[in-house]
Structure 1
Amino acid sequence: MGAASLSNCGIVWSLLSLCSTGLCCAGFYLPYWLEGNTLGKPAYFGTFRRCNYPAPGKEGDPYVVEECGRYATFYDIPSMSWQICTVLVGIGCGFMILISFTALLACCVEELITSRIARAAGWLQVFAAILVAAGVVLYPNGWNSVEVQQACGNLSRAYALGTCKMSWSYYITIGGSLLTFLCSGLSYNAARTKNVHYGI
């Protein structure tokens, strides 16, 4: 690692940043945040994707489409809270991807990351983690939508699950956000070289 611009702590920061990004992005994309039941089949909801959802049949009787997919348009997402959550977590994941790939590149490229750039990356990680955490906190506010209530025994409301339960994708998103906060602290000792001042 002679050509790397990262210290040993920086290499750990780089790898943990990649892990936290993977957790948040997987949690964001996979529709297993909330688990309920629709017409006797397990139903799953994420922020912008769902699995096993009801649809009208040829003769008007509802049936369950047994597949996972995103909502047809952004405005088909069943609640404003989930729309905002989708934007917050999506932007947070975008920042995490940018930082983690820059940190990985710094493992191989000399003088890519100085202490000032590493600290700026750390603050950007804090911002990204706050966005993801805000989305995670806002998500339960959308449990009062008709689609969710149907899957939760018509007992769900904002921040009350009804007969539904939280699923694993929600938890890995939380874990990724917490790990990103940890990474932001590691960024302060990530750079091998201090700031370079060029004189004329």
Structure 2
Amino acid sequence: MATSLTSIGICWAFLSLVAALLCCSGFYLPFWIQGRLLGKVDAYFSSFRRCNYPRVTSQGVVEIVHECGRYSRFWDIPSPWWQASTVLVGLGSALSLLVAVTALAACCISYVIHTATARVAGCIQLTAAVLVCGGGAVYPVGWDNREVRDCCGNASHVYKLGNCQLSWSVYLLGISVFLLIICFGLSFCSSRVTPGSFRI
């Protein structure tokens, strides 16, 4: 297998893939917080998706939709803080995936990554971690919206979940941030090729 990565670089590529998959999964799956809707059904929310939510029928009757889905439009997301969280975590996930694909390509193809580009890739991973943390930090500011209060009670407020609890997608994002920071450190030792050593 032709590669310019060191053994640490191979580890970096593998961890980059794991971090990107965890980050993208944590972003897409709507299991950030869990509550009870009308005291009967478990409801879940992320920044742009939800599971088991109320809908008013054409006859004016409130029914519970037992499915997961995203909001119809970006502007339908019930809080501007959740909109900001969607953009930040989504951008961080995309950056982590871009670096992971590049790192995997470097495992099979020589001169895809050299020392300078590996450091740039590591800095991009650190940026992705910061973006995901930023998105995670602004998400609780939107916990005072009506949909959360319907599930978590009127005690829910900014950074206060009321009767709800954090769910497992948040932990996926936390692990991905931890791995991205480790990848940032590993990227400095990941390539044995310097920019001046390329041969045409």
TM beyond 0.5: yes
Give the 5 Å matches for 1:130-169: 130-169=130-169
- Give 1:194 shift: 2.1
Provide the rounded CA distance (Å) in 2 between the counterparts of 1:29 and 1:91.
Answer: 12
**Cα offset, 1:197, TM superposition:** 5.7
Find out whether 1:33 has 2:32 as its counterpart.
yes
Distance in 1 (alpha carbons) for counterparts of 2:149 and 2:71: 17
Deviation digits for residues 36-72 of structure 1 (CA, Å, limit 9, x no counterpart): 1112111000110000000013432211100000001
Unmatched runs of 5 consecutive residues or more in structure 1 = none
- The answer for the alignment partner of 1:190 in structure 2 is 190
Q: Who is 1:85 aligned against?
A: 85
Residue 53 of structure 1 pairs with residue 56 of structure 2: no
Once residues 13 and 127 of structure 2 are traced to their aligned partners in structure 1, the CA distance between those partners, rounded to angstroms, is: 17
Structure 1 position 132, deviation (Å): 0.5
- Aligned match of 1:104: 104
Partner of 1:95: 95
Q: Percent identity?
A: 47
Match of 2:64, as an amino acid? V
* Equivalent residue pairs, number: 198
> Which aligned segments of 4 or more residues in structure 1 are displaced greater than 6 angstroms?
none
Measured after TM superposition, the shift of residue 195 of structure 1 is: 2.5
- Indicate whether 1:117 and 2:120 are aligned: no
Q: Quick one: distance in 2 between partners of 1:100 and 1:58? A: 47
User: Aligned partners of 1:50, 1:112: CA distance in 2, in Å?
Assistant: 40
Structure 2 unmatched ranges of 5 or more: none
Supply the AA of the counterpart residue of 1:52.
N
Aligned to 1:8: 7
CA contact (8 A) 1:136 1:174 kept: no
Q: Tell me, in whole angstroms, the C-alpha distance in 2 between the residues paired with 1:58 and 1:141.
A: 33
Which whole-Å deviations, capped at 9, do the CAs of 1:116-156 have from their partners, x for residues lacking one?
01001111111111001111111111100011111102220
Q: Tell whether the 8 Å contact from 1:151 to 1:164 is kept in structure 2 after alignment.
A: yes
Query: What amino acid is aligned across from residue 145 of structure 2 in structure 1?
Result: S
| Counterpart residue type for residue 125 of structure 1 | Q
Please name the residue that 2:67 is paired with: 67
